[in-house]
Structure 1
Amino acid sequence: MISPTPIPGNDPKFLAALTEAKLPTDDVGEPDRSFFRFEQDGRLLGFGGFELYREDALLRSVVVPQESRGTGAVRTVAEGMLREISNAGGTRAYLLTTTAADFFKHLGFEVIDREDAPSAILRTRQASSICSSALMLFRAI
């Protein structure tokens, strides 16, 4: 059974996985972020997080350790994060990526122009500075 467990943004294994994958860690300790560890039968699959702004969520920090890549773990984590967003009241998910657009397109996301995203999403540190050159993707949940 796959079990998402809430974790703090400063969880050492989470930070190490983000660093290894060259994903940003600058703002993970700020308030109003939700992060999760995903395990299956005691084995770490990966991590993910989101920021929720009413019904709009920024899906972020989806990362799978090297030893879990190629096993379907990243799909499991991403789909689990969409469920967590939905459980929290989110109906629309946005994300920023420079390397994983094709993967997220397979999950039903589509590339959109940044100006089409809600202002709350555009004001996040991820969108406004940390990932300012990344593609913006969207999916209804």
Structure 2
Amino acid sequence: MIASTPIPGEDERFRRALLDAHLPIDDLDDAGRSFFRIERDGQLLGFGGYELYGQDALLRSVAVPQESRGTGAGRAVVEVMLREIGNAGGKRVYLLTTSAAAFFEHLGFVRTDRLDAPAAILGTRQASSICSSAALLSRTI
């Protein structure tokens, strides 16, 4: 059974997983972020988080330990995060990535122009300063 457990941004194992995946940790303690540890039958699959702005959400901080990559763990983490976002009222999900565009496209995300994204998503620290302008913006369809 897959379970998600809310965790604080300062969770050391979460931070280490993000750093190992070369993902930013600069804004984990800012208000308005929700983070989760995802496990299957007590075994860690990975971590994920989101920021919610009305019905628009920014999926972020998805990290899977190296030893779990290629096992479906990443897909499971994203599916759980999409469920968490939906439960919180999110309808449209966006993400920024510099290295995992193909992975997210395989899961149904499509690349979109930043000009087409809601102002709230573009105003996040992730979109405006932490992720480089080279990061691709994708959304669910």
TM > 0.5 fold call: yes
Amino acid corresponding to residue 26 of structure 2 in structure 1: D
- Count of matched residue positions in the alignment of Structure 1 and Structure 2: 140
| Aligned residue number for residue 51 of structure 2 | 51
| Aligned residue number for residue 138 of structure 1 | 139
Question: Does residue 65 of the first structure (1) align with residue 65 of the second (2)?
Answer: yes
Q: CA deviation at 1:18?
A: 0.3
Q: Distance in 2 between matches of 1:44 and 1:116?
A: 35
Amino acid corresponding to residue 121 of structure 2 in structure 1: I
| Aligned residue number for residue 106 of structure 1 | 106
Q: Distance in 1 between matches of 2:124 and 2:99?
A: 20
Structure 1 moving runs of 4+ over 3 Å = none
Q: Secondary structure at the match of 1:132?
A: coil
Amino acid corresponding to residue 137 of structure 1 in structure 2: S
- Structure-1-length-normalised TM-score: 0.98
Identical counterparts, % of pairs: 69
Q: Distance in 2 between matches of 1:99 and 1:11?
A: 24
- Which structure 1 segments of 5+ residues have no match? none
Question: Does residue 40 of the first structure (1) align with residue 40 of the second (2)?
Answer: yes
Q: Secondary structure at the match of 1:129?
A: helix
- Which structure 2 segments of 5+ residues have no match? none
Q: Distance in 2 between matches of 1:41 and 1:114?
A: 39
Q: Distance in 2 between matches of 1:64 and 1:57?
A: 20
